Chain A
Amino acid sequence: MLELRSIHKSFVAGHAVLRGLSLSVAAEEIVCLLGPSGCGKSTLLRIIAGLEQADRGQVLLGGREMNSQPAHQRRMGLMFQDYALFPHLTVAGNIAYGLRMQRMPAAQQRARVAELLALVELKGYEGRAVDALSGGEQQRVALARTLAPKPALLLLDEPVANLDRQLREELAGTLRRLLKQLRATALFVTHDQEEAFALADRVAVMRAGSIEQIDTPAALYQRPANTFVARFLGFQNLLPVCQDPQERSVLQTPVGEFRLCAESVAGQRLLIPPDAARLADEPPGPHAVRWVGRVVASTFRGSLVRVELLPAAGGDQPLCFELRSAGSVWPAGTELALWLDQTRLRLVAES
């Protein structure tokens, strides 16, 4: 559906925002560009929408090259981060704007507006002023306005970032259901991995103008391609590692030794997921290994407690784990004996 071929863009000479970025989005697929602010993800959306021109590279939609098309002829829907609702128009006026530009007859416009308002659950809001709406309502009006002209591709810039936390999760869910129901093809950007995982079929992690890894949320979480991706997804336990010269399946780290089969560990780090540890007397499985640490800090998170530990055996490399708790936190200095599931360990390329 959408294909980007090595897009280059720099605003200031010698300081590239996008460096040879390629990406394709299949029909009816929802893809998310995830990255820290300043990685060029919003610029990419603007290039696809035709609001900026790429220095090099091609934008193809349904096999047709779009580079020379001005924004108003591309038939793409872009939802802005600040929604950009027209303050001088009513809710209906905003939603009908794109239809007006297509010279759709007024009666049809009204019908389509009503249809969209029903879709975003704002029935009867036609005559309201947009600045009298709540943040969540504005977001839904902006979505309805973007959907109204039936764009071939939906582009969403941080669609729920401007809302408060609870509303954000609720609307992210609604948004995905809606897009799937409409069988829409969508590309959206965010810096929030929870939002990315909740909305997208595939997530592309961006860094400094190019894509580091693109995969389904589950695969991304299981096998981050490198330490940048792993850190961005929230993994903290990334340990320098080397192989035991005699026994190649024994990996030595500053916090102790682990068993993991690997050809070579050169240029890699060992990732220990925060949920790979258990507090138990008996080993939970055949590949569990005993690890004892002293609590440095612990944070209560409801059903989980996040603890930071230093190995009891010595060393200054801390490990962080999320442990099931019976509603208690451990004071600093407490010794905890954990079972680590070694099947969960991964080697991740250093980036």
Chain B
Amino acid sequence: MSAVWRVKRGGLAALYMLPILFLGGFYLYPLVSLLRVSFSAPDALQAVAALNSPGIWRLLWFTAWQALLSTALTVLVGLPLAALLGRFAFPGRGLLSALLTVPFVMPAVVVAPAFLALVGDEGLVTGWLQARWQLPRLEQTLGLILWVHVFYNVAIVIRTVGGVWSTLPASLAEAAAVLGARPGQVLWTVTLPLLAPSVLAASLLVFLFCFTSFGVILMLGGPRYATLEVEIYRQAVHYFNLPLAALLSLVQLFFTFSVMVLYTRLQARLSRSLRRQRLRLRSPAGLWGWLAVAAALLATFVGVFAPLVALAVRSFTLGDQGGTWVYYEALGQNLRQSAFFVPPVVAIRNSLLYALLTLAISLPLGAIAAAMLARPRTRWAAVLEPLLLLPLGTSAVTVGFGYIVAMGPLRAWPWLAPVAHSLIALPFVVRVLLPALRALDQRLREAAATLGASPWRRWWTIDAPLLARALLVGAAFAFAISLGEFGATLLIARPDWPTMPMVIYQAFSRPGLLNYGQGLAMSTLLMAVTAASALLIERLRLPGEEEF
């Protein structure tokens, strides 16, 4: 009996070691290698000296303030939408909130071309806009970058703040009104102070994502704008200045970890500070209420969906032929006629293969990690919890760069990309599974037991249905993340094993209408698959889980 117990415990410990080993080998080890490279190479001193150059400070300054500005704008746009979705019932509300989460998982290689297809130099509405309002050129401007950042992150504000807003007891605002507060005063003295922690939490997360923005800046910023993340990539790949790139990575890690720590502290406080109430939605009041709803719907359509629609439209109508399939057909051709390049259609196969491998790695590891964290405090959980949060605060380029530095001969290994994707997807998978595991209330099982269910039937009728949903959501997340992953893949994937994002990036950086059209077509395909994943996530996610 005790021997069996010991074996069982040994097996469990071995199982629990898996996610820790994975994170140790494929996350901590590359990070430590980065540290080593940045300080041990002969020209490390030179790299450190570079810290004194004004260029680095300008880079840091731009990275920080564009992130701050993006965050402020995102909150400004997100708050009214959160109010609308959190408080009011109107036709199309479910659809709107589902569609608003689509951008969150949309890869930069889809979003950047989409915005160019709408308002870039050759954009669908550019000519029309410039003719009417003398609008300046948007391509390669800060304005476009900010717009894209808002597009990406507004769902975070809506989810985090709207979730809290919808559960604020209505009686609080009513009490304030009866005590003599005008509607504006109610907002300032009661509603906003109560929302402040959630606004701050959302802002920190948005700031984090904008601070490490890569694909958007690389593809839309042109040579003028570079964030830390873009500069790390340029230093590592274009100039092969590994010590400087490593140093910049460390600087960035310092910033992102600080923000991450703040965020998790705040999130923990947020989850216990408010007594939650049942969701209560009202009909918009009067003409102004309905006008606000209409305005929000219109703004959401223009700001969020128009670019995506433009991308799809453009991929069929580029050039002078009118409607055409030619760019989709071209995906099967090797335009360069080069042995090193493969027809783009092969990238679709690669991407799907990588995504499936990512599922195969991140789902089991995520499930083990979540099971470990869901149990009452164990030694393993104490190690794993912070370890799991770190990859969330580490940029993809840093991860990819770490692999280049650390993996030695493994660098040529085609399966390194799915490993990196799994690392990036793992925190998301765990965060989706954890609440489901925690929701498996012991009392539900006890109730089932008293109703005569055997242990196996209890598992099958109570646990499995709840978990299946969460697993599916986790799978959709991992799938979408792997398909769209760009920063790490660009650094580590082999040129003869390109993924869809790589092909898109290359297609847009080469001249020629056919290259451009190929990029548009591939982007549209990637958009369709990720949008489907996002809608699946939205449809299946457990209610009450509003973290992201």
Contacts and interface: CB of A to CB of B under 8 A. Distances in A.
B182 A86 contact: no
A98 B194 contact: no
B172 A72 contact: no
B178 A97 contact: no
Contacts of A102: 180
B17 interface: no
Interface stretch (B81-89, B185-193, B252-260, B460-468): B185-193
A101 B172 contact: no
B40 interface: no
Interface in A121-158: 131, 145, 149
User: How big is the B interface, by class?
Assistant: 20 to 34
Contacts of B174: 49, 51, 71, 78, 80, 84
Contacts of A77: 178-179
Contact of B273 (A49, A84, A87): A87
A86 B172 contact: yes
A82 interface: yes
Contact of B179 (A51, A88, A131, A149): A149
A5 interface: no
Interface string B262-286: 0000000000011100000000000
A82 B179 contact: no
Contacts of B178: 49-51, 71-72, 74, 76-78
A72 B181 CA distance: 6
B197 to A, nearest CB: 9
B18 interface: no
Contacts of B193: 88
A231 interface: no
B182 A84 contact: no
A84 B175 contact: yes
B338 interface: no
Contacts of B172: 84, 86
Interface in B166-184: 169, 171-172, 174-183
B272 to A, nearest CB: 10
A97 B169 contact: no
A80 B179 contact: no
Contact of B175 (A70, A78, A131): A78
A277 to B, nearest CB: 45
A98 B190 CA distance: 12
Contacts of A223: none
B182 A72 contact: yes
* Residue among B172, B177, B190 with max Cβ neighbours from chain A (10 Å): B177
A75 interface: yes
Contacts of B190: 86, 88
A88 B190 CA distance: 8
Contacts of B274: 87
Contact of A51 (B177, B182, B194, B273): B177
Interface in A55-76: 70-76
B387 to A, nearest CB: 33
Contact of B169 (A72, A78, A84): A84
Contact of A98 (B169, B171, B179): B179
Contacts of A71: 174, 177-178
A102 B179 CA distance: 9
B87 to A, nearest CB: 16
Contacts of A82: 169, 171
B180 A101 contact: yes
Contact of A87 (B176, B177, B189, B194): B194
Nearest to B195: A88
A98 B177 contact: no
* Residue among A51, A74, A76, A102 with max Cβ neighbours from chain B (10 Å): A51
A101 B194 CA distance: 18
Contacts of A70: 177
Contacts of A86: 172, 175-176, 190, 194
B50 to A, nearest CB: 47
B182 A80 contact: no
Nearest to B273: A87
Interface in B47-98: none
Contacts of B176: 86, 97
A97 B185 CA distance: 11
Nearest to B185: A101
A51 B285 CA distance: 13
B194 A88 contact: yes
B531 to A, nearest CB: 38
A76 B178 CA distance: 7
B182 to A, nearest CB: 6
A97 B174 CA distance: 13
Nearest to A76: B178
A101 B171 CA distance: 18
* Residue among B169, B180, B194 with max Cβ neighbours from chain A (10 Å): B180
A221 B179 CA distance: 36
* Residue among B174, B175, B275 with max Cβ neighbours from chain A (10 Å): B175
Contacts of B194: 86-88
A73 B274 CA distance: 29
A80 B180 CA distance: 15
B273 A98 contact: no
Given A87-B194, A88-B193, A97-B189, A75 B175 contact: no
A229 B225 CA distance: 78
Contact of B171 (A50, A80, A149): A80
Contacts of A97: 176, 179, 181, 189
B175 A72 contact: no
B17 to A, nearest CB: 41
A145 B169 contact: no
Nearest to B196: A88
B221 to A, nearest CB: 41
A50 B180 CA distance: 11
Contacts of B177: 50-51, 70-72
A78 B181 CA distance: 13
A25 to B, nearest CB: 18
A74 B178 CA distance: 8
Interface string A74-96: 11111010101011100000000
B169 to A, nearest CB: 6
Contacts of B273: 87
Contacts of B180: 72-73, 75, 98, 101-102, 149
Contacts of A76: 178
Nearest to A142: B175
27 contacts: A49-B174, A49-B178, A50-B177, A50-B178, A71-B174, A71-B177, A72-B178, A72-B179, A72-B181, A72-B182, A72-B183, A74-B178, A75-B180, A76-B178, A80-B174, A84-B169, A84-B171, A84-B175, A86-B172, A86-B194, A87-B194, A87-B273, A88-B193, A98-B179, A101-B180, A102-B180, A131-B275
Which 5 A/B pairs are nearest by Cβ-Cβ distance? Answer: A101-B180, A98-B179, A84-B171, A84-B175, A71-B177
Interface of B: 169, 171-172, 174-183, 185, 189-190, 193-194, 273-275
Given A71-B178, A82-B169, 11 more contacts: A49-B174, A49-B178, A71-B174, A72-B177, A72-B182, A78-B175, A84-B175, A87-B194, A97-B179, A97-B181, A101-B185
